[in-house]
Amino acid sequence: VIVPNTYEVIIVGASLAGSSLALRLARRGVSVAVFDKAKFPRRKACGEGVSSIGVRLLKELGITPGSTELPANLLDGYVLCRGRRKVEVPFIEQDSCSDSGYGIQRLVLDSLIIKRATAAGVRFELGTSVRSVTRSAEGGWIVEAAGQIVHGKTLVLADGANSIVAESLGIHSEVKTDPRFGFSMVLEGQSASPISRVHILVHDTFEIACTPVSPTLLNTTIMAPRSSIADSLEPAQLQSILSAVREQTGFIGAVCEDERAPLGIGPLNRSRRGGFHDGVFLVGDACETLDPIGGMGMTHALVSAALAEKSLWSHLRQSQDIFEAGRSYEAKRESEMRALRGFTRLTYFYLRKMSHTSLFPALGNSALIREVSRAAHRNIAPSVLGFCCNLLLNVVGFL
């Protein structure tokens, strides 16, 4: 008997983690319904730099950065700047044939994945906030939203760092750092030579990350503690940001109007809930958030979705017990996450502590930082140094 409005998987959140998981499941014939309070295309405050690991996962979904449907700007490393001191950190070998990272506008990327998932048969209820979910007597889930009652065999939360559904189910997050606040915007303009690196401008209390998302568009994201940032950017602050960006990146531009104007965001914390709780799967930021400065949040959203899909499939189609499937998902996610988490922590530490000292250019221009960055992006040839960097990332990510 087919009960109307019944799906094998219900996902709350249609951003990167939720819609990429939905697309993967639908392509394998699993029925999926996704809810999101936002209507797409929508803006999302983000630095918009996708790592080479994330790019490989997008390609697995049939989504190619740099194609006509997804304009993007190739990224091959970072430039860390403090005053006149600069450190170049490539994460791709010049002669490497592996994937590059890309700067991609979320406005375009997130909608494209939803479009693909819709074509694969996913039901999206957009503009629909889910306040809570209930467990049915048969062990499934009931979501009341969009004026309808929708039943699901399994539930996935992909509703971001401040997941109210997780909180309503008693799945609380462990917060790790002092909160920061920020603004994300897109500048339109040009630079004398093409920019292929994310520039991170470090100041005493704040950072500005500049990611090219096309030859004429530069994402500019400012992050600072609450004490040094207000609810809106004053014109004078904006002007000093624009001149710092021009000086360090060579990009001369102005803030785009409409959907690319400064968008406030915060509080931003490093937080962790874990990927599986009592029959509920969590993916992306709902499960764990990383400090944005490392640029690995989207990668985690895509990695966790890919791993959750495998475990949900084993449960739904190979009759694996849901608790076994969930534990296996969390174990694999944790093992994949260690290096990404380690990289984010080391980047944060290095920028906040080392950039004040004379060790900044000395250490930054040594092979170590470059090899750590390459190891995090899985672009390192097997070598003793590569092995040690990988070990370092895993140890720091574990602690």
353 near 191, Cβ under 8 Å?
no
46 binds ligand FAD (CB under 6 A): yes
Nearer to ligand FAD, 166 or 392 (CB): 166
- Judged by CB under 6 A, the chain residues 184 through 203 that form the site for ligand FAD are 184
Residue of the chain from 70, 108, 142, 164 that contacts ligand FAD (CB under 6 A): 164
For the chain, where are the alpha helices, taking DSSP H only?
16-27, 52-60, 106-119, 164-168, 235-249, 297-317, 322-353, 359-364, 367-376, 384-398
DSSP assignment of 168-197 equals: HTT---EE-S--EEEEEEEEEEEESS---E
Closer residue to ligand FAD (CB): 35 or 350: 35
Place of tokens 């539930």: 155
- When binding is defined by CB under 6 A, the residue of 130, 210, 316, 346 that contacts ligand FAD is 130
Residue 266 C-beta: closest distance to ligand FAD, Å: 8
Choose which of 8, 10, 18, 333 interacts with ligand FAD (CB under 6 A). 18
Coil vs helix vs strand at 2: coil
Residue 15 as a binder of ligand FAD (CB under 6 A): the answer is: yes
Q: Which of residues 255-294 bind ligand FAD (CB under 6 A)?
A: 265, 268, 284-285, 292
- Report, in Å, the least distance between residue 218 CB and ligand FAD: 13
Taking the complex as a whole, the smallest distance from the CB of residue 20 to ligand FAD amounts, in Å, to 8
Residue 210 CB, nearest approach to ligand FAD (Å): 10
47 binds ligand FAD (CB under 6 A): yes
Instruction: Select the residue interacting with ligand FAD from 8, 76, 99, 159 (CB under 6 A).
Output: 159
The whole-angstrom separation of Cα 280 and Cα 323 is: 9
Q: Answer for the pair 218, 186: CB distance below 8 angstroms, yes or no.
A: yes
Residue type present at position 344 = T
Identify which of 33, 177, 186 has the alpha carbon closest to the alpha carbon of residue 108: 186
Give the shortest CB-341-to-ligand FAD separation in angstroms: 13
Task: Tell me the C-alpha distance between 165 and 273, whole Å.
Answer: 12
| Cis peptide leading into residue 267 (ω within 30°) | yes
**Phi, then psi, of 362 in degrees rounded to 5:** -65, -50
Q: Tell me the residue nearest to ligand FAD as measured from the CB.
A: 284
The residue within the footprint of ligand FAD, chosen from 64, 118, 129, 365 (CB under 6 A), is 129
Q: Does 65 bind ligand FAD (CB under 6 A)?
A: no
Site size for ligand FAD (CB under 6 A): 39
Separation of alpha carbons 125 and 40, rounded Å:
11
CA distance 123 to 22: 9
Of 1-9, 14-22, 249-257, 270-278, the window that binds ligand FAD (rule: CB under 6 A) is 14-22
Alpha-carbon distance 7 to 97, whole Å? 41
Residues numbered 217 to 236 that lie near ligand FAD (CB under 6 A) are: 221
Binding segment (CB under 6 A) for ligand FAD, from list 39-47, 64-72, 170-178, 237-245: 39-47
- Residue ranges that bind ligand FAD, judged by CB under 6 A: 12-18, 35-38, 44-50, 129-130, 158-160, 164-165, 182, 184, 221, 265, 268, 284-285, 292, 295-299, 301
